[in-house]
């Protein structure tokens, strides 16, 4: 776990799961970006899951990082999926360029 706002774990199937927690925090955006880039460029799992179920809002930097991670995953042959219970977060992700086929509830 990086700090107290971001949890990173490996699922039983080998997928890397990145879970930001809590309300928007200036440090969280930077930690999230670093974790996503590290997972996609260095770890290179078959699947990366960005679990936003504990996040009620993403700031613009976090939105951009998640959208860019989807494209970077394609470049590195890593399937990237985003989980979010919040319809508002899902709508903002779609507006930022995340394909609806990547979104999971």
Domain at 86, CATH number? 3.30.750.24
Number of domains into which the chain is organized: 1
Report percent pLDDT > 90 for the chain: 79
Q: Is residue 54 part of a domain?
A: yes
Reduced to 3 states (helix: H, G, I; strand: E, B; else coil), residue 10 is: strand
The pLDDT mean for the chain works out to: 91
Q: How many whole angstroms from its chain centre is CA 35?
A: 9
| Backbone phi and psi for residue 47, each to the nearest 5 degrees, phi listed first | -140, 135
Q: Is residue 93 part of a domain?
A: yes
Domain that holds residue 46: 6-104
Q: Is residue 71 part of a domain?
A: yes
| Backbone phi and psi for residue 76, each to the nearest 5 degrees, phi listed first | -105, 10
Confidence of residue 1 (pLDDT cuts 50, 70, 90): very low
Q: How many whole angstroms from its chain centre is CA 51?
A: 6
pTM: 0.91
Q: Is residue 1 part of a domain?
A: no
């Amino acid at each position: 776990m990086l700090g107290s706002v971001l949890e990173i774990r490996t699922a039983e199937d080998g997928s890397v799961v990145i879970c930001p927690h809590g309300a928007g925090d200036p440090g969280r955006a930077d930690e999230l970006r670093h974790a996503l880039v590290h997972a996609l460029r260095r770890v290179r799992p078959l699947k990366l899951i960005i679990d936003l179920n504990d996040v009620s809002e993403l700031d613009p930097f976090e939105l951009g990082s998640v959208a860019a991670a989807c494209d970077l995953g394609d470049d590195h042959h890593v399937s990237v999926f985003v989980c979010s219970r919040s319809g508002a977060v899902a709508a903002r992700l779609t507006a930022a360029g995340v394909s609806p086929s990547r979104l999971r509830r």
